[in-house]
Amino acid sequence: MRTGAEYREALRDGRNVWVLGEGKVEDVTTHPATAAMVEEYVAWYDRHFDPEWQDILFAPATPERERAAWAYILPKNSDDLIGMGRSFAKTIFLSAGNITHTPAYGHLISMGVLTAVQERNVSAKQIADAAAYREMIADTGRFLTFCGGAAPLGFRLRDNPADRAALKLVRETDAGIVISGRVGMHTSPAYAEDVYVGALNGVKIGEHNASFIVPVADPGVMTVCRKLAARHANPFVSPLSSRFDELDGQMWLDNVFIPWERVFLVEASPEPIATWLLWHHLYGWLAKAEFTLGLALALADAMALKEHDQTVEYLVDLIADIQTARSCLAAAERDPSYTVGGNCVANHLHLLPGGIAIFKARQRISELLRIIPGSSLVVAPSDADLATPELQAGLEESFGGGGWTALQRSALLQMAWDHVSSGLDGRESAFELHASGGVPAWRGRLRQRFPSYNELANAVLRAIDIPMPEIDVGNIPAAPLAPRRVNTIAATPPPPKS
Amino acid sequence: MRTGAEYREALRDGRKLWVMGIGAVEDVTRHPATRAIVEEYATWYDRHRDPEWRDVLLALTGDNGERAPWAFTVPRTKEDLIGMGRSFARTTFLSAGNITHDPAYGNLIALGILTTLQAQDVSQQQIDNALTYRDMIARTGRFITYCGGAPIIGQRLKPDPADRVALKLVRGTDAGVVIRGRLGMHTSPAYAEDVYIGGMSGIDIDGNRAGFIVPVGAPGVTILCRKPATRETNPFIAPLSLRYDEFDGQMWLDDVFVPWERVFFVGPNPDPIARWLRWHHLYGWLAKAEFSLGLALALADAMALKEHEPTVEYLVDLVVEVQTVRSCIAAAERDPDFTPAGYCVPDHRHLAAGGIALFKARQRISEILRILPGSSLVVAPADTDLAAPELAAGLEESFGGGGWTALQRSALLQLAWDHVSSALDGRESAFELHASGGMPNWRGWLRQNFRDYNRLASAVLRSIDIEMPEIDVSNIPNAPITRRRFAAGVPPVAKS
């Protein structure tokens, strides 16, 4: 495992990064828009050298393998999944569920690529290339992020359907291919070293859909990050926003060369790769919910409400939602599936109800945290206000007491506000409603995987004492996932308004 | 395992039984109000001899192919829980989740008594007695049901608080105790052979809160069952109601002798026993939900709606609810707890989450099944209507077609109606909202069993870069479960 300093140095690779509203970022490690997140990733690597984290972040040696970071284990059994899951849970919680794209997630992407090419089975070389890439990032700690490959809106509205794809193949050579185009939303490209561009990009090689791993710093690559989540400059007021904005972005490719060993021929759907990623997504959402519950419990103590029945009922509401997701994760890891390559993967049949439960609950979870502390949440002062001579005594009288100073209680209230009433919170919600397809995609996946359609339908017929037709509702799971959204393009598009 | 015929014969034990609105029942195996359920229980026993059910109902117990019923297993591993759970799921589904009290449930009651005593400071004799009883029912198949022991409303309103208990100790002897009183709702006493009466009955013996196992056929015992769930007499219209009304009841005890080996110092808290029972409850609720989903899928086919996207969305709504509970049960069995004696028990955090999810969903599940087939659900004919010469052709034209005869489609619609729009459905809902305490109790159990209160609260404080107070919210899990309900105020004088 490399050190955080080595990771930081690796980002000084000449990458071409823009942040909307901020302009060009010459050095992501020092620019005010990006430096804080770089330091969070630095800490992610360095945590692996921290004695206090050893038991959580490292898998013990076994007869089959040496001691290794859970982040880079190729799981072979349920115990591996449980160990990896615990490491995800503990690390994502630290950012309140805001940093969901880490090098460990990158490793899951690489396992997804491996699974996808194993399922497609185009050639042994394809599989060997994917396996070699995964081993390389496990050896080096190189940070990979994921882009489905979908085109930005402007492309999707073009007159000619052939021009609506994100990427175009410019040419093929013996060494690789050259591609151009623009790909839509993905996360942490400013901090990653490679981006996997999935098969939604539209490039076909032969009869196969092509996907690619593209170095962020390659010639011709430009990363365009979204605007920052608006945040207060004082970290007392924005303890999360000032640290955990992982920045989503687009990527523009201008005649970028991809060597053949980074070209992967996969099916059109990104689902084989999502096989691994949904597991991590659910841990991210659970981390946000658990951080919310932690804040709610701390506030119940800080606001002297822990004996208040209605407050406790609100807490139990949060617990019920969190325990449901935890239980689904426990089932997914303890009743796992296996890939065609023999790797052990969290069972989607259990992950999906957990994800859907959180999707249903997340807005209410945020509301409960806004309710529990009372209106003090809205009017809490900053440390600067508390240090102002004209206000100090009055604010101490207003916010101190019961074993908490005004500074302590205000710090907790500000963190709760930053968690569920800030631009960062809004970004997290907007992002997660799209990132893995939102509720429609999670429902669609469960629809495909639920195993008992005909069994249940025919079983109820046996309660009727006359001969009945054989039921076949196999069309329901067999239906493909609905496309996320299809833009309707008028036959004669209106001219742009002047 | 005894046969169904042996079970049927065992019920002719002189039991004193009354069904509200019907009157005295001399022989439960023959009376029209009760015999159908007796036959269901007889089938439960006989199913253990059916080769088609062998792999589901019988566990391999040795290397030589010996098998024993999962229903009477003492679980020691998660594999045992998974096997027991599968047998519960498959058998409970057959009655659409309506028969929730069966001899397998009785084994869980016996395990609950045993593990409660093992966790408490009671004599070895008490533990041995509980173990002997459990082994006896495993050996014989004897059927025990559960009564928490709470008094009925009239007793709870008595002027003297000392009289507001269900039972009183009449006397103790060298051989046992004599008790008297009246006990509130419990299920299937008409069909069980023993009733366990829990510590809520209010009897203390030498300072110990006692529970009892009372034979239904013992002298002095009277069972009063509720009115039957109203139903049509035509099984085509009432395919479930006619077969699966397991009857809840009360029990009156008039100087009933209970030998010491059936007296257990379990304490006043029913939770250690309920820890076993909630697992089975959740399987019962899941069976009802799965039966609803099965009906919805069959109706989507029968009504030619399986390609209709809004219908499929309704189906996915049901799939989500069913799979959430399946996943919680899978977690509970694969991530189990262990009792002090080493028995393996499903983890309650996972069970509670599943139970709460189903409590939230169950009314919507029923509504979706009422929506899904369209108004044909409401106007579907009976087999007798279809056979009436004046109507046969018209009804065939109205309800037949698409590969289904009018008889077949009507049978399915009637089954759906009986499942979610009948008095049996209403009884199931009313019963389950009380039987294990309803949503308040399940939330209370989750509140008690959830881990990480102080850990989560303290962990978020570490994100703040100033010294913070230590959080202690352990009062939240430590609070007792709120009493279900208690009568308040001084009762008025009865009106003449």
Q: pLDDT by residue (tens digit) across A341-354?
A: 999 999 999 999 99
Q: Nearest-CA distance from A468 to chain B in Å?
A: 6
User: Are A316 and B320 an interchain contact pair (Cβ–Cβ within 8 Å)?
Assistant: no
How many whole angstroms separate alpha carbon A370 and alpha carbon A366? 6
Q: Nearest-CA distance from A154 to chain B in Å?
A: 30
Which residues does chain A have within 8 Å of residue B456's beta carbon, measured at their own beta carbons? 290-291, 293-294, 297
pLDDT of residue B487: 55
Q: Which residues pair with B48 in a beta bridge?
A: none
Query: Around A430, how many Cα atoms within 13 Å sit in the side-chain half-sphere?
Result: 13
Q: Residue B29 CA to chain centroid, in angstroms?
A: 22
pLDDT of residue B432: 87
B155 pLDDT more than 90: no
User: Are A473 and B404 an interchain contact pair (Cβ–Cβ within 8 Å)?
Assistant: no
Q: Which of B243, B320, B442, B483 should be substituted to probe chain A, the one whose Cβ sees the most A Cβ atoms within 10 Å?
A: B320
Q: Residue B487 gets which letter from DSSP?
A: -
Q: In this structure, how many other beta carbons lie within 10 angstroms of the beta carbon of residue B484?
A: 13
How many whole angstroms separate alpha carbon A411 and alpha carbon A236? 6
Q: Nearest-CA distance from A4 to chain B in Å?
A: 20
The first and second tokens of residue B389, run together, are 């010469």
B489 pLDDT more than 80: no
User: Are A96 and B463 an interchain contact pair (Cβ–Cβ within 8 Å)?
Assistant: yes
A170 pLDDT more than 70: yes
Tell me which H or E stretch contains B433.
helix B423-435
Cα–Cα nearest to B296, from B369, B375, B378: B369
User: Are B411 and A312 an interchain contact pair (Cβ–Cβ within 8 Å)?
Assistant: no
User: Are A476 and B354 an interchain contact pair (Cβ–Cβ within 8 Å)?
Assistant: no
Q: What is the pLDDT of residues A415-426, one digit of tens each?
A: 999 999 999 999
Cα–Cα nearest to A264, from A73, A445, A134, A437: A134
Q: If you measure CA to CA, which chain A residue comes closest to B288?
A: A460
Which residues does chain B have within 8 Å of residue A471's beta carbon, measured at their own beta carbons? 297-298, 301-302
pLDDT of residue B121: 86
A363-382 CB burial, b ≥16 within 10 A, e <16: eebbebbbebbeebbeebbb
Cα dihedral: A95, A97, A101, A104 (round 10): 80
The first and second tokens of residue B439, run together, are 């949503």
pLDDT of residue B488: 56
Q: Which residues pair with B197 in a beta bridge?
A: B147, B212
pLDDT of residue A412: 97
Q: Which residues pair with B187 in a beta bridge?
A: B248
Of B300, B320, B456, the CB nearest to A293: B456
How many whole angstroms separate alpha carbon B428 and alpha carbon B36? 17
Q: Output the CA–CA distances (angstroms, integers) from residue A451 to A349, A473, B120, B153, B281, in the order listed.
A: 9, 12, 44, 47, 23
User: Is A319 within 8 Å of B450 (Cβ atoms)?
Assistant: yes
A452 has a chain B CB within 8 A of its CB: yes
Q: What is the pLDDT of residues B410-431, one digit of tens each?
A: 999 999 999 999 999 988 888 8
Cα dihedral: B79, B84, B88, B89 (round 10): 10
The first and second tokens of residue B269, run together, are 């808290």
Average confidence (pLDDT) over B339-361? 96
Q: What percent of chain A has pLDDT over 70?
A: 98
Q: Which residues pair with B186 in a beta bridge?
A: B249
Cβ-based neighbours of A329, under 8 Å, separated by 6 or more: A85, A279, A282, A283, A286, A346, A350, A351, A354
User: Are A473 and B96 an interchain contact pair (Cβ–Cβ within 8 Å)?
Assistant: no
User: Is B273 within 8 Å of B130 (Cβ atoms)?
Assistant: no
A386 has a chain B CB within 8 A of its CB: no
pLDDT of residue B490: 47
A442 pLDDT more than 50: yes
Cα dihedral: A89, A93, A99, A100 (round 10): 30
pLDDT of residue B486: 58
Q: What percent of chain B has pLDDT over 70?
A: 97
Average confidence (pLDDT) over A307-320? 96
Of B323, B411, B467, the CB nearest to A353: B323
User: Are B332 and A352 an interchain contact pair (Cβ–Cβ within 8 Å)?
Assistant: no
Cα–Cα nearest to A417, from A430, A429, A426, A405: A426
Q: If you measure CA to CA, which chain A residue comes closest to B354?
A: A324
A132 has a chain B CB within 8 A of its CB: no
User: Is B214 within 8 Å of B253 (Cβ atoms)?
Assistant: yes
Q: Nearest-CA distance from A361 to chain B in Å?
A: 12
Establish, for the pair of chains A and B, how many residue pairs have beta carbons separated by less than 8 Å: 218
Which residues does chain A have within 8 Å of residue B361's beta carbon, measured at their own beta carbons? none
Q: Which residues pair with B25 in a beta bridge?
A: B17
Q: What is the pLDDT of residues A71-89, one digit of tens each?
A: 999 999 999 999 999 999 9
Q: Which amino acid is at A114?
A: L
Which residues does chain B have within 8 Å of residue A328's beta carbon, measured at their own beta carbons? 324, 327-328, 331
pLDDT of residue A274: 86
Tokens 């192919």, located at residue: B65
Which residues does chain B have within 8 Å of residue A400's beta carbon, measured at their own beta carbons? none
User: Are B294 and A293 an interchain contact pair (Cβ–Cβ within 8 Å)?
Assistant: no
pLDDT of residue B157: 87
Q: If you measure CA to CA, which chain A residue comes closest to B459?
A: A294
Average confidence (pLDDT) over B457-483? 92
Residue A212 — pLDDT band, cuts 50, 70, 90? very high
User: Are A447 and B316 an interchain contact pair (Cβ–Cβ within 8 Å)?
Assistant: yes
- Residues of chain A numbered 319-348 and touching chain B (CB < 8 Å): 319-320, 323-324, 326-328, 330-332, 334-335
B80 pLDDT more than 50: yes
User: Are A354 and B93 an interchain contact pair (Cβ–Cβ within 8 Å)?
Assistant: no
Q: What is the pLDDT of residues A120-155, one digit of tens each?
A: 998 999 999 999 999 999 999 999 999 999 998 888
B172 pLDDT more than 80: yes
Q: Nearest-CA distance from A58 to chain B in Å?
A: 21
User: Are A327 and B312 an interchain contact pair (Cβ–Cβ within 8 Å)?
Assistant: no
Which residues does chain A have within 8 Å of residue B447's beta carbon, measured at their own beta carbons? 312, 316, 319
User: Is A247 within 8 Å of A21 (Cβ atoms)?
Assistant: no
B142 pLDDT more than 90: yes
Of B293, B446, B469, the CB nearest to A316: B446
**Mean pLDDT of all residues belonging to chain B:** 94
Q: What's the start-to-end Cα distance of chain A, in Å?
A: 56
A381 SS3 class: coil
User: Are A459 and B294 an interchain contact pair (Cβ–Cβ within 8 Å)?
Assistant: yes
Residue A258 — pLDDT band, cuts 50, 70, 90? very high
pLDDT of residue B485: 60
pLDDT of residue B389: 96
Q: Nearest-CA distance from A462 to chain B in Å?
A: 9
A474 has a chain B CB within 8 A of its CB: no
**Mean pLDDT of all residues belonging to chain A:** 94
Of A315, A457, A479, the CB nearest to B297: A457
pLDDT of residue B484: 64
pLDDT of residue A487: 75
Of B324, B452, B464, the CB nearest to A353: B324
A294 has a chain B CB within 8 A of its CB: yes
Average confidence (pLDDT) over A312-335? 97
Q: Which of B78, B301, B315 should be substituted to probe chain A, the one whose Cβ sees the most A Cβ atoms within 10 Å?
A: B301
